[in-house]
């Protein structure tokens, strides 16, 4: 079974590439983030033609997540139970579903904007709510994973230059502590480092030739429980999908399972 996570940075802008990638990659389940589309405009028909069902939590221009599956889609939960909300509203940042033998969450963790900004406090609170929401499945016997754009680099080795991020979000002690607390709930990072290259980044800014210079970050993560981690046979970042015209600024992270 092949599952993946990918921040597509607008499914409308990326739809041709997404459909082509699904066909060529042989992916059974895809957790998708930053759909940037209202659910009623989501391309259910095009995906159905390829054999995929979709569970979607999306409301419009910003955020939006989905789980695409060609191996079944059951027990869908839209939204994060206990979501703290931002400025009085819940943002569409989480959706979960059971896909065949595996249960997955697709998450798009708040960016945080700036250290000290209200959105940064919201980010830490959102992590706490996520930890509480997944605790039961994390210690269960069914393969389970929380996949998506975490907007946190777990270690200094996961950014091209730690000094370049001094005073910025994504690398602060509080963010990394929140990520560590999620792991302590019973999850582990199932994508090994190094992979086929020294720094398997998953995100590169569009500006300043960041991708050609490999000035990236590893912020798209797959955290699985023990049954999930034991089933992993391979994992990689599909760096090729970041290349070329019309690419997302994130690359897919792919995990193969023997379940």
Q: Which of 83, 150, 236, 250 is catalytic?
A: 250
Helix or strand holding residue 67 (H, E): strand 65-69
Q: How many Cα atoms within 13 Å fall on the side-chain side of residue 80?
A: 32
The count of domains in the chain is 1
Per residue in 213-253, pLDDT (tens digit) is: 999 999 999 999 999 999 999 999 999 999 999 999 999 99
Q: From the annotation, which residues make up the binding site for Mg(2+)?
A: 7, 34, 149, 151, 249-250
Tokens of residue 46, six digits: 């095009």
Q: Which of 52, 108, 120, 223 is catalytic?
A: 108
CB 132 within 8 A of CB 173: no
- List the single range of 122-136, 157-171, 220-234 with lowest mean pLDDT: 157-171
Would you call 198 a catalytic residue per the annotation? no
Q: Which CATH number belongs to the domain containing residue 84 in this structure?
A: 3.60.10.10
Whether the pTM exceeds 0.85: the reply is yes
Q: What percent of the chain has pLDDT over 90?
A: 94
Q: Which of 137, 149, 158, 220 is catalytic?
A: 149
Would you call 220 a catalytic residue per the annotation? no
Q: What single-letter DSSP state applies at residue 164?
A: G
Residue 200: predicted pLDDT: 82
Q: From the annotation, which residues make up the binding site?
A: 7, 34, 149, 151, 249-250
Report the interhelical angle of 118-138 vs 173-184 (nearest 10°): 10
Would you call 199 a catalytic residue per the annotation? no
Token pair 């963010």 is found at 175
Q: Residue 212's domain spans which residues? A: 2-257
């Amino acid at each position: 079974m092949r599952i993946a996570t990918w921040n597509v940075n607008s499914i409308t802008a990326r739809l041709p590439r997404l459909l082509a990638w699904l066909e060529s990659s042989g992916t059974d389940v895809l957790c998708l983030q930053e759909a940037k589309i209202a659910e009623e405009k989501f391309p259910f028909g095009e995906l159905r033609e390829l054999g995929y069902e979709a569970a979607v939590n999306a409301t419009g221009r910003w955020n939006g997540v989905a789980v695409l599956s060609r191996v079944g889609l059951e027990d869908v939960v839209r939204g994060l139970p206990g979501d703290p909300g931002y400025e009085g509203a819940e943002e569409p940042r989480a959706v979960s579903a059971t896909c065949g033998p595996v249960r997955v969450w697709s998450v798009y963790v708040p960016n945080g904007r700036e250290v000290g900004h209200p959105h940064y406090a919201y980010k830490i609170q959102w992590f706490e709510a996520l930890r509480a929401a997944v605790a039961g499945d994390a210690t269960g016997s069914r393969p389970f994973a929380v996949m998506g754009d975490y907007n946190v680099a777990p270690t200094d080795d996961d950014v091209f230059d730690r000094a370049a991020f001094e005073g910025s979000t994504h690398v602060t002690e509080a963010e990394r502590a929140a990520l560590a607390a999620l792991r302590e709930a019973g999850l582990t990072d199932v994508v090994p480092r190094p992979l086929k290259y020294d720094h398997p980044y998953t995100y590169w800014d569009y500006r300043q030739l960041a991708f050609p210079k490999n000035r990236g970050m590893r912020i798209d993560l797959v955290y699985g429980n023990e049954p999930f981690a034991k089933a992993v046979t391979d994992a990689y970042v599909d760096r090729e999908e970041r290349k070329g015209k019309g690419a997302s600024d994130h690359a897919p992270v792919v995990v193969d399972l023997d379940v």
